[in-house]
C-alpha cells in the first residue's frame, strides 16, 4: 500500500493519529498530505498520493520531488483515463502474440499449473509478474495490505488451500516490500476510540497484527525506535530508509511465513507427505513437496532478497536460494 493511503483514507476527511504521543492529534487531509510531501518518502508518491493531493482543496503547488516523479504521478492520468487501459490491453494482446505465440490459447485449453503461490502486498508498485519477468500461468497470487496471511481470513485460507491441494504449487512465497504503507502505519499509534469511519476501522484492524509485532519485537532497530518514540513523540511516517521501518517490513514477512507454515492446510499437507515416505518414488514425492519462503522486494531498485526463513516438509532438504540474503 502507498504510505499515505493508510494514514489518509480516501474515504476520510479527517484522520486521527496518535503516534507515540499521549494526546491525540487530528489532522486534516491537507495536513497529512503536507506531511507526506515534506518527507523523502514522497519520492515514492503513488497513485493514491496523487489522488489525495488532488482531493485536498488547498493543496500547495507541486514540489520539486513531485516534478521529478512526473512519470510516477502520470499514474493518475493512467488510472483516470480508461482509454489508457484499453490501449494498454491492446498492446498486451499484440505483445503476447509476438513474444509468446499460442501461450494464452494453451493456458486457456490446458488450464493453469503454476509452480508458485505469492502472498504479496496490494501496493501498485509490487507487480509480481513484472518483478520476476514471469509469464501468465506462473504465479497464483494472494495480494492484500502488507502481505499478511491470516488463517482466520476465509480468503487467505481458501487461496492457500486451492494453491496447495488443487494446483499443487511447489513454493509459497510471502513477499514484503520496503516502503510498505501498511507497515509504516503500524508504527504510528492510533487511538481506536477515535477511529469511527468504517474504512479506517477496516484498515486499522487488518494491520493490527503488524502493530503488535512493532510493539513486542526484540529486534534492535525496532526496540530503539520504540524507545525514541517514548522520549520524542513523532508525528510523521517513517522514512523509507529508516532501519526500524525496514526491520519491521522484514519481521512482518517472517511472522507471516510462520503463520503459513503453521496453518492447518500446510500441517495437513506435510503430514500427508510424511505418511507417504517410501510409498512413492522420489519424483512423485518431489511433486507434492511444498516449500514456504520469506522474501522482501526493494521498491527503489526492483531487487528481491531472501530473509532466510524458508520452511519445508519435515526431513526434507530446503532447495538452495539463488537470491541474496538480507543482512538481518
269 in a labelled binding site: no
Residue 180 in marked binding region:
yes
Q: H or E element: which one contains 90?
A: helix 82-99
| Closer of 160 and 183 to Zn ion (Cβ) | 183
Instruction: Quote the DSSP letter at residue 27.
Output: E
3-state SS class at 200: helix
The reply on whether position 326 binds Zn ion by CB under 5 A is: no
> What pairing do the DSSP bridges indicate for beta strands 291-297 and 304-306?
antiparallel
Stretch that binds Zn ion, among 76-84, 153-161, 176-184, 230-238 (CB under 5 A): 176-184
* CB distance 160 to 259 below 8 Å: no
Q: How many helices (H) and strands (E) would you count in the chain? A: 14, 7
Stretch that binds Zn ion, among 69-77, 87-95, 105-113, 119-127 (CB under 5 A): 119-127
Closest separation in Å from C-beta 84 to Zn ion? 24
Q: What are the angstrom distances between the C-alpha of 96 and each of 84, 108, 153, 234, 263?
A: 18, 14, 35, 49, 37
Q: Is residue 293 annotated as involved in ligand binding?
A: no
Site string for Zn ion, 253-292 (x = CB under 5 A): ----------------------------------------
Q: Considering only residues 120, 123, 200, 221, which one is a binding residue for Zn ion as defined by CB under 5 A?
A: 123
Stretch that binds Zn ion, among 73-81, 114-122, 250-258, 289-297 (CB under 5 A): 114-122
CA 218 – CA 233 distance, rounded (Å): 20
Q: Which stretch binds Zn ion (CB under 5 A): 1-9, 84-92, 266-274, 298-306?
A: 1-9
Q: What is the smallest separation between the CB atom of 177 and Zn ion, expressed in angstroms? A: 6
Q: What angle do CA 130, 309, 188 make, to 5 degrees?
A: 75
Q: Does 203 bind Zn ion (CB under 5 A)?
A: no
* Nearer residue to Zn ion within complex by CB, 128 or 291: 128
Q: How far apart are CA 221 and CA 245, in angstroms?
A: 8
Cell of 178: 520496503
Distance in angstroms (rounded) separating the CA atoms of residues 222 and 214 = 7
109-to-104, 105, 197 alpha-carbon distances in Å:
9, 6, 46
> Residue 95 has which C-alpha cell?
505483445
Q: Is 180 in the site for Zn ion (CB under 5 A)?
A: yes
- One of 1, 7, 175, 266 touching Zn ion (CB under 5 A): 1
- Residue 151: φ, ψ to 5°: -60, -30
Q: How far is the CB of 111 from Zn ion (least distance, A)?
A: 31
Contact window for Zn ion (CB under 5 A) among 99-107, 173-181, 241-249, 251-259: 173-181
Is residue 121 close enough to count as binding Zn ion by CB under 5 A?
Answer: yes
Q: Which residue ranges make up the site for Zn ion (CB under 5 A)?
A: 1, 121, 123, 180
- Binding-site annotation, residues for Zn(2+): 121, 123, 177, 180
Amino acid at each position: 500500500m502507498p504510505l499515505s493511503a493508510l494514514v489518509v483514507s480516501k474515504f476520510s476527511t479527517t484522520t486521527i493519529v496518535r503516534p507515540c504521543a499521549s494526546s491525540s492529534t487530528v489532522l486534516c487531509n491537507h495536513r497529512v498530505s503536507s506531511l507526506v510531501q515534506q518527507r523523502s518518502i514522497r519520492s515514492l508518491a503513488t497513485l493514491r498520493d496523487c489522488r489525495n493531493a488532488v482531493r485536498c482543496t488547498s493543496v500547495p503547488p507541486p514540489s520539486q520531488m513531485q516534478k521529478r516523479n512526473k512519470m510516477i504521478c502520470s499514474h493518475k492520468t493512467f488510472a483516470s483515463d480508461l482509454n489508457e487501459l484499453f490501449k494498454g490491453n491492446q498492446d498486451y494482446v499484440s505483445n503476447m502474440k509476438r513474444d509468446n505465440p499460442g501461450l494464452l490459447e494453451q493456458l486457456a485449453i490446458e488450464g493453469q499449473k503454476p509452480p508458485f503461490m505469492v502472498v504479496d502486498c496490494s501496493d501498485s508498485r509490487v507487480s509480481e509478474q513484472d518483478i520476476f519477468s514471469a509469464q501468465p500461468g506462473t504465479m497464483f497470487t494472494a495480494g492484500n495490505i502488507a502481505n499478511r496471511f491470516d488463517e482466520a481470513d476465509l480468503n487467505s485460507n481458501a487461496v492457500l488451500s486451492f494453491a496447495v491441494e488443487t494446483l499443487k504449487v511447489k513454493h509459497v512465497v510471502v513477499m514484503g516490500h520496503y516502503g510498505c504503507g501498511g507497515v509504516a502505519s503500524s508504527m504510528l499509534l492510533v487511538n481506536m476510540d477515535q477511529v469511527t469511519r468504517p474504512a479506517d476501522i477496516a484498515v486499522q484492524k487488518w494491520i493490527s497484527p503488524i502493530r503488535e509485532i512493532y510493539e513486542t519485537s526484540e529486534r534492535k532497530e525496532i526496540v530503539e525506535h520504540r524507545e525514541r518514540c517514548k522520549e520524542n513523540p513523532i508525528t510523521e511516517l517513517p522514512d523509507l530508509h529508516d532501519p526500524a521501518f525496514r526491520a519491521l517490513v522484514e519481521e512482518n514477512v517472517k511472522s507471516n511465513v510462520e503463520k503459513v507454515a503453521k496453518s492447518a492446510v500446510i500441517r495437513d499437507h506435510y503430514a500427508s507427505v510424511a505418511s507417504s515416505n517410501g510409498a512413492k518414488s522420489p519424483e512423485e514425492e518431489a511433486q507434492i513437496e511444498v516449500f514456504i519462503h520469506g522474501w522482501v522486494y526493494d521498491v527503489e531498485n526492483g531487487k528481491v532478497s531472501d530473509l532466510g526463513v524458508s520452511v519445508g516438509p519435515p526431513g526434507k532438504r530446503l532447495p538452495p536460494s539463488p537470491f541474496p540474503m538480507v543482512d538481518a
